[in-house]
Amino acid sequence: MALSGFASCKGVVWVNTHLIKPLVGESYPVVDYGRGIYLFGKDGKKYIDGSSGAVTANIGHGVKEIYEAMCRQAEKVSFVYRSHFTSEPAEELAEKLAQSAPGDLNAVFFVNSGSEATETALKVAIQYFQEQGQPEKIQILSRRTSYHGITLGSLSMSGHPLRRQRFEPLLEDFPAVAPPYCYQCPFKLSYPSCKMKCADDLEEAILSIGSENIAAFIAEPVIGASGGAITPPDEYYPRVKAICEKYNILFIADEVMTGMGRTGKMFAMDHWDVVPDIIATGKGMSAGYTPMAAAIVSDRIMKVIENGTKVIMSGHTFSANPFSAAVCLAVMDYMDKNNVVQNAQKQGIYLIEKLKKLQEEFEVIGDVRGKGLLCGIELVRDRTAREPFSLNEKITETFISICFENGLIVYPAVAGVTGFSGDAVIIAPPLTITSEEIDELAGILSSSLKQLT
Ligand code: PLP
């Protein structure tokens, strides 16, 4: 049987860490359909989508309102090229996103993936300074534990060794600073006596590189794929934003995973009342119903570009296609009508409680963390010493495979640096999940942990 994309019937199919093999056998199961938080294989097996795929299916699967909206738009027009036409759905969606975004973030550039969104943010930041006669401001600072995408530009900004290693020679040599990773503090300090040395590290890097060479600092509000829902102390982002302002460096919030309600607020930066200069968003924007993402840019930046070249020097064939825009609009309408963001906040608290109970029972869980329904558990060999497993032990891979066998999908966050970002698992179910469904999810986690230990 020939399958599309990376998949093949027999071979190794993932480019990165998360092989579900060997426990599920030689090939991936074939999906049949999805309803709510559940996915059903062709063989009839039922799975809880405990990670919303790759933290994407925010409103669950098979929602009638969405496929009805798809049909309505497809009947009218699915595609027009962005420099020939705009469309009502694209304009309405841009308006809605601008209203949902904080501060003066009002210009929306549609792309098709999170990687394109962060790469567009990178280009906009560089263009912003070029327009002001500062072409040497081209470095993008990021953090050593981070993931901003798989294209060469976005990967250049990512501290994810496993995904970088093959392509290192092709990547930009962007500098990176310490992450706010309290559980395995890079400085071996503790909060609050550390006085946020990780934020100081940003300032020190800027001073050593020279702010005249740096266009932007990019950060995931809650570190996802490379760290497993690493959530900083509340004072971190206000400090970071102040440092960026002090040195005339743009702050890009990569909300590809955290945006669109995932953390219990529309954008995670809203938790800290911090207004970034650019937000990259994706994943939950379409809730997985179509590929769609966006860079949302501040008026301050746009004013400079409008007074200069006038156009953002980026764009893709499918950018702002009316079909995808209509799908995202339907997703946002569904979220409004069903109080999905509020549910994420409420159920996130409940999920963390359940995970903490599991932590009491299972020594292997070193840390439980997260915001809203973006939660993570870090697996350790020795909880007292916070000693990680070695990479060779593949503990995360084994654990997610056991969960999968037991009918629960969770997402690995292994960046490939033992002792720094160790083994973590993301638990991030659809934001529509109920308490009873969380009980069911936690039950399977519990039995899977028993099997692991
Ligand atoms: N940024 C973050 C924070 C992500 O988590 C991801 C994907 O996991 C990306 C960017 C890349 O998004 P995509 O896979 O849609 O290109």
E-only strand ranges, 246-403: 250-255, 278-281, 293-298, 365-371, 374-382, 387-388
CA–CA gap between residue 52 and residue 356 (Å, rounded): 21
In contact, 253 and 271? CB cutoff 8 Å: no
CB-ligand 1 contact for 255 (6 Å cutoff): no
Q: Which atom of ligand 1 is nearest to the CA of 146?
A: 3
From residue 230, give the alpha-carbon distance in Å to each of 221, 369, 375.
9, 7, 9
Q: Which of 140, 256, 262, 279 is the best mutation target for the ligand 1 pocket, counting ligand atoms within 8 Å of the beta carbon and taking the most?
A: 256
Report the residue count for the chain: 453
Averaged over 87-100, what is the pLDDT? 97
Amino acid at 389: F
For all residues of the chain together, what is the average pLDDT?
Answer: 92
The vertex-42 CA angle with 37 and 45, nearest 5°, equals: 55
State residue 19's pLDDT score.
Answer: 45
From residue 278, give the alpha-carbon distance in Å to each of 59, 179, 214, 273, 298.
25, 20, 15, 15, 6
The vertex-89 CA angle with 86 and 91, nearest 5°, equals: 55
Percent of the chain surpassing pLDDT 90: 85
CB-ligand 1 contact for 292 (6 Å cutoff): no
State residue 417's pLDDT score.
Answer: 55
* Whether pLDDT at 5 is above 50: no
Closest to 263 measured CA to CA, from 351, 195, 196: 351
Q: Which atom of ligand 1 is nearest to the CA of 282?
A: 15
Q: Which of 17, 51, 115 is the best mutation target for the ligand 1 pocket, counting ligand atoms within 8 Å of the beta carbon and taking the most?
A: 115
| Fold of the domain spanning 67-337 | Aspartate Aminotransferase; domain 2 (3.40.640)
State residue 7's pLDDT score.
Answer: 37
Spacing, Cα 285 to ligand 1 middle (Å): 12
Question: Residue 389 — φ and ψ, nearest 5°?
Answer: -75, 160
Averaged over 304-315, what is the pLDDT? 90
Q: Is 30 helix (H, G, I), strand (E, B) or coil?
A: coil
The model's pLDDT over 185-243, given as tens digits with 9 standing for 90+, comes to 999 999 999 999 999 999 999 999 999 999 999 999 999 999 999 999 999 999 999 99
Closest to 150 measured CA to CA, from 142, 138, 158: 158
Q: Which atom of ligand 1 is nearest to the CA of 54?
A: 8
CB-ligand 1 contact for 322 (6 Å cutoff): no
CB-ligand 1 contact for 258 (6 Å cutoff): no
* Whether pLDDT at 316 is above 60: yes
- Is the torsion defined by CA of 301, 306, 310, 316 positive or negative? positive
pLDDT band with cut points at 50, 70 and 90 for residue 26: low
Spacing, Cα 324 to ligand 1 middle (Å): 18
Spacing, Cα 132 to ligand 1 middle (Å): 30
Spacing, Cα 269 to ligand 1 middle (Å): 17
- DSSP assignment, residue 270? G
CB-ligand 1 contact for 231 (6 Å cutoff): no
The model's pLDDT over 34-83, given as tens digits with 9 standing for 90+, comes to 999 999 999 999 999 999 999 999 999 999 999 999 999 999 999 999 99
* Whether pLDDT at 275 is above 60: yes
Q: Which atom of ligand 1 is nearest to the CA of 258?
A: 3
* Whether pLDDT at 6 is above 90: no
CB-ligand 1 contact for 257 (6 Å cutoff): yes
* Whether pLDDT at 360 is above 90: yes
Residue for token pair 């006085």: 195
Percent of the chain surpassing pLDDT 70: 92
State residue 416's pLDDT score.
Answer: 62
pLDDT band with cut points at 50, 70 and 90 for residue 279: very high
- Is the torsion defined by CA of 148, 149, 153, 156 positive or negative? positive
What residue segments make up the domains of the chain, in order of their start?
31-63+339-452, 67-337
What does the block give as tokens for 333? 């309408």
Spacing, Cα 448 to ligand 1 middle (Å): 27
Spacing, Cα 327 to ligand 1 middle (Å): 20
CA–CA gap between residue 238 and residue 372 (Å, rounded): 20
Q: Which of 122, 147, 255, 421 is the best mutation target for the ligand 1 pocket, counting ligand atoms within 8 Å of the beta carbon and taking the most?
A: 147
CA–CA gap between residue 444 and residue 439 (Å, rounded): 9
Q: Is 304 helix (H, G, I), strand (E, B) or coil?
A: helix
The model's pLDDT over 413-425, given as tens digits with 9 standing for 90+, comes to 976 654 445 689 9
Pick 1 or 176 by higher pLDDT.
Answer: 176
Spacing, Cα 430 to ligand 1 middle (Å): 17
Task: Write the residue with the smallest CA distance to atom 14 of ligand 1.
Answer: 114
CB-ligand 1 contact for 256 (6 Å cutoff): yes
Least confident span in 2-6, 93-97, 420-424: 2-6
- The sheet with strand 293-298 has its strands ordered as 105-111, 293-298, 278-281, 250-255, 214-219, 139-143, 176-177
Hey, how many other C-beta atoms are within 10 angstroms of the C-beta on 361? 12
CA–CA gap between residue 389 and residue 396 (Å, rounded): 9
CA–CA gap between residue 329 and residue 59 (Å, rounded): 13
Q: Which atom of ligand 1 is nearest to the CA of 117?
A: 10
Spacing, Cα 433 to ligand 1 middle (Å): 23
CB-ligand 1 contact for 149 (6 Å cutoff): yes
Closest to 239 measured CA to CA, from 270, 296, 195, 295: 195
Pick 312 or 192 by higher pLDDT.
Answer: 192
Amino acid at 449: L
Q: Which atom of ligand 1 is nearest to the CA of 114?
A: 12
The model's pLDDT over 160-193, given as tens digits with 9 standing for 90+, comes to 888 888 999 999 989 999 999 999 999 999 999 9
CATH 3.30.70.270 fits 31-63+339-452, yes or no: no
In contact, 201 and 178? CB cutoff 8 Å: yes
* Whether pLDDT at 139 is above 50: yes
pLDDT band with cut points at 50, 70 and 90 for residue 310: confident
354's enclosing H/E stretch is helix 340-361
Spacing, Cα 133 to ligand 1 middle (Å): 32
User: CB-based burial of residue 1 (10 Å sphere; 0-12 exposed, 13-18 middle, 19+ buried)?
Assistant: exposed
